[in-house]
C-alpha cells in the first residue's frame, strides 16, 4: 500500500477544526494495531456478507468489497509500513484504502458496525489464533521434559528446600515437577482461549444497531461458539485479555523459577549441567566466562509479563460502561505478552534440548550434607521408635558429625550404635543416597516406578 495523503476524518462532519499535532499523536494506534489487519479483514468480509443477506449491499457491491479486501490483504506488509497515522488505527486505514479502490461501495461497509464491536472482534480472533501457537510450544516443552526425564532416570541429585540440601531425588523427578506445572499453565491458556469464544460483532457502539443483523450467520462464519447476549458487555469486556495476561504471567513466573535453577546448576559451584554455546555468551573483559544469559533474560522477562497484567487491571478498574478510549492501551500490553511468552518458551526449548547433564556431580552433591537423615530417622521408626524421638537421635548424629567435620556417609554401623542400639549393620544401606529414592513408596514420589508412571501420563496428555 502507498502512503496516503491527509484525509478527512470519518467523523469530520461534527467538527469545524482539525486535531492538534499532539492530539493526533496520542490518538494514533496504527503503529501497534497494524498486526490486527488479517483479523480485521476477515471480520469485514463476513460483515459484508451479512449486510448482503439483509439487503444492505447488492451482490455487485459485495463482490467489490470482498475482492478489494482480499487485494489489500495480499499487499499489506506485516511491519506496519504504508499505513497512515492520520487515520489513527487499522480499521480506518483499511476502510479508507478500500474506498479509494472501489468507490462508494466501500463507504457502505461500516453500516451496522462500530469500531467498538469491530476491535473487540479483531482481538478475539487474534488471541484465539495466537493461543493455538502458544499451546503448541507448551506441548513441545512438556514433551521435551518427559524425554529428558526418561533418558536421565538414573541421575540422583539433592532435593532442596530453602535452597538447603533436603533429601535425594531423581533429576528426572525435579524436571517433571516443572512439566506438571506447565500442564496447569496449559489449562489456564485453554480457559483464556475459551473466553474468546463469544461473538461481539453486531453489537454496534453499545446499544445494538438499527438493522436486523444476522449475528448467528456471523457466528457460524467466524467459528465462534456463542453470541455475547448483551451489547454493552460485548464492546466493553476485556476479561479475555486479562485471562491471557494472567496465564502468561503465571507461565512466565514458572519459567523464571526454572531459569533460576538452571543458572545455579550451570555455575562452577554446582556443575550439574552445562549449557551449550548456542545459548551462552562471553564477557567483554573476562576471557574465561560462559554466561547463562538466555536463562537470565527469560527470568527477567517474567517481570514484563507480570507488569502487563497489572497494567491492564489498573487500566480497567475505573472505567464506566461501555467503550472508553482507554481500551486502546490494552493492545500493546497484550501483543507484548503474546510475543514475550512465545519467545521465552522457544528459548527454554532450545536451552533444554542442548543442555548436558553431569550425573557424577549430582551424585557427589547428594552424598553430602546429610541428605538421607530422614531415611535414617524412618529406619528407627520401623524399629518401633516414635518419630519425634528418632528425629532427635538423628539430629544428635548430625551435630556430632559436624563437630568432627565428617558426613555420616562415612560412619560405620558401630558409630551409629553409639546413639541407639537399634541400629543394625543395614543402616549403611539406608544412609546411601543412591538407594534413597527407591525407598519412597507413596504415589507421585521420586521412585523409578512413580517417575515412569508420570512420564507415561504426561505423554498421554500431549498426544
Is the four-CA dihedral 374, 376, 380, 383 of positive or negative sign?
positive
Active site residue 283: yes
Active site residue 249: no
Residue whose C-alpha cell is 458496525: 113
Q: Which residues contact 168 (CB under 8 A, 6 or more apart)?
A: 156, 157, 158, 159, 366, 371, 372, 433, 434, 436, 437, 446
Given 16, 162, 284, 442, the catalytic residue: 162
φ and ψ of 370, to 5 deg: 60, 40
Given 58, 81, 267, 283, the catalytic residue: 283
d(CA 211, CA 447): 66
Beta bridge pairs of residue 356: 274
370-373 long-range Cβ contacts below 8 angstroms, 24+ apart:
370/165, 370/398, 370/401, 370/407, 370/408, 371/158, 371/159, 371/165, 371/166, 371/167, 371/168, 371/433, 371/436, 372/167, 372/168, 372/409, 372/430, 372/431, 372/432, 372/433, 372/436, 373/397, 373/398, 373/408
Known catalytic residues are 162, 283
Amino acid at each position: 500500500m502507498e502512503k496516503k495523503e491527509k484525509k478527512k476524518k470519518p467523523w469530520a462532519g461534527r467538527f469545524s477544526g482539525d486535531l492538534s499535532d499532539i492530539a493526533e499523536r496520542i490518538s494514533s494506534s496504527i503503529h501497534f494495531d497494524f498486526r490486527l489487519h488479517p483479523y480485521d479483514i476477515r471480520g469485514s468480509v463476513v460483515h459484508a456478507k451479512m449486510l448482503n443477506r439483509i439487503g444492505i449491499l447488492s451482490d455487485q457491491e459485495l463482490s467489490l468489497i470482498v475482492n478489494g479486501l482480499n487485494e489489500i490483504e495480499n499487499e499489506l506488509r506485516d511491519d506496519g509500513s504504508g499505513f497512515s497515522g492520520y487515520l489513527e488505527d487499522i480499521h480506518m486505514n483499511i476502510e479508507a484504502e478500500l474506498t479509494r479502490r472501489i468507490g462508494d461501495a466501500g463507504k457502505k461497509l461500516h453500516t451496522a458496525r462500530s469500531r467498538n464491536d469491530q476491535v473487540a472482534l479483531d482481538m478475539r480472533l487474534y488471541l484465539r489464533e495466537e493461543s493455538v501457537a502458544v499451546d503448541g510450544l507448551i506441548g513441545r516443552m512438556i514433551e521435551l521434559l518427559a524425554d529428558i526425564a526418561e533418558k536421565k532416570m538414573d541421575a540422583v541429585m539433592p532435593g532442596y528446600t530453602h535452597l538447603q540440601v533436603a533429601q535425594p531425588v531423581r533429576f528426572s523427578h525435579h524436571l517433571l515437577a516443572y512439566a506438571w506445572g506447565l500442564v496447569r499453565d496449559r489449562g489456564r491458556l485453554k480457559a483464556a482461549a475459551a473466553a474468546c469464544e463469544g461473538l461481539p460483532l453486531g453489537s454496534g457502539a453499545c446499544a445494538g444497531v438499527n438493522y436486523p443483523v444476522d449475528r448467528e450467520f456471523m457466528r457460524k462464519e467466524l467459528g465462534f461458539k456463542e453470541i455475547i447476549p448483551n451489547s454493552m458487555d460485548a464492546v466493553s469486556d476485556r476479561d479475555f485479555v486479562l485471562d491471557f495476561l494472567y496465564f502468561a504471567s503465571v507461565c512466565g513466573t514458572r519459567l523464571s523459577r526454572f531459569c533460576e535453577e538452571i543458572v545455579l546448576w550451570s555455575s562452577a559451584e554446582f556443575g550439574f549441567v552445562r549449557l551449550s554455546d548456542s545459548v551462552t555468551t562471553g564477557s567483554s573483559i573476562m576471557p574465561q566466562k560462559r554466561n547463562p544469559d538466555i536463562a537470565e533474560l527469560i527470568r527477567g522477562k517474567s517481570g514484563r509479563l507480570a507488569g502487563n497484567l497489572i497494567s491492564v487491571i489498573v487500566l480497567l478498574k475505573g472505567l464506566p460502561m461501555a467503550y472508553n478510549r482507554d481500551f486502546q492501551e490494552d493492545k500493546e500490553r497484550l501483543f507484548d505478552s503474546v510475543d514475550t511468552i512465545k519467545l521465552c518458551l522457544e528459548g527454554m526449548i532450545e536451552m533444554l534440548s542442548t543442555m548436558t547433564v553431569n550425573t557424577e556431580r549430582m551424585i557427589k552433591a547428594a552424598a553430602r550434607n546429610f541428605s538421607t537423615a530422614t531415611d535414617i530417622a524412618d529406619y528407627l521408626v520401623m524399629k518401633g521408635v516414635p518419630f519425634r524421638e528418632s528425629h532427635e537421635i538423628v539430629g544428635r548424629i548430625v551435630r556430632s558429625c559436624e563437630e568432627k567435620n565428617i558426613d555420616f556417609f562415612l560412619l560405620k554401623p558401630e558409630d551409629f550404635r553409639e546413639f541407639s542400639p537399634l541400629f543394625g549393620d543395614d543402616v549403611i544401606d539406608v544412609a546411601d543416597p543412591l538407594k534413597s529414592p527407591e525407598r519412597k513408596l507413596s504415589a507421585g514420589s521420586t521412585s523409578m516406578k512413580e517417575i515412569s508412571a508420570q512420564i507415561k501420563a504426561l505423554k498421554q496428555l500431549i498426544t
